[in-house]
Homo-oligomer: A and B are copies of this chain.
């Protein structure tokens, strides 16, 4: 039972349980919300009286948001597509730290099998955790196949001869190759999405709260790959320095006291700094400092 919070309105938020849960808690903390899990309980506390928080398997999130059990939730695009859920997609969240490659669902067969393309699987048996999506994919492609539900260890089923192909999730393909399988098609790429119940999205109070969460989660994610850069520049070199700065965010420039120097401050991608700094020095910037950011909106 969600905690009573004395408000007329409460936003019901679903957090994916399991592998993404800790990263999600950290992201919310950076955005400004502390979520604390209770031992053996599916209803964590959140330090915002306007929100009631529930844990839910990523696979079931979209169904519960569609049904209005939750007003808003975070889950993978794959599970939204699996159930073809009728929800409003608020935005994409790319948790980019773990790896740079997207999660993808691939069609894989035994390494020594003759199958080269999805069409070659006509009449064959395919095992997958994503039965709904896989069935629709092959129906839309006009390829008749038998799709069987599998709860994991799916790679082993092709090896054992229990099916002819699998549709399985992978980042790098390592597990698939380790079983001697061969990928013959990428069926879908997936990332985390914020999804809202359609009625909740029409409610002005709920929509504003959802947009607040969305803005701050994205601000926190954004800050992970940006840094602040500040430098002093003599007035006659400002144009040269300015021309080097990425167009992304316009710099904050201010006159320095009793001098013809200017202070220039800008937010840039961490990845370009190592090339930018030597150029800035050459163009006349001095006293360059780089500092970390918590949020960038």
Contacts and interface: CB of A to CB of B under 8 A. Distances in A.
Contacts of A48: 274
A263 B267 contact: no
A278 interface: yes
Chain A, interface size category, equals: 35 or more
B255 A257 contact: yes
A184 interface: no
A74 to B, nearest CB: 15
A162 interface: yes
A160 interface: yes
Interface in A259-297: 259, 262-263, 265, 267, 270-271, 273-275, 277-278, 281, 287-297
A212 to B, nearest CB: 5
Contact of A281 (B232, B271, B288, B297): B297
A291 B294 contact: yes
B39 A151 contact: no
Contacts of A1: 159, 180
B254 A255 contact: yes
B43 A274 contact: no
Nearest to A176: B40
Given A256-B253, A281-B297, A287-B250, A151 B223 contact: no
Contact of A211 (B238, B274, B278): B278
Instruction: Give the residue among A32, A223, A252, A278 with the most B Cβ atoms within 10 A.
Output: A252
A280 to B, nearest CB: 8
Interface string A51-95: 000111101100010000100000000000000000000000000
Interface in A160-184: 160, 162, 174-175, 178-180
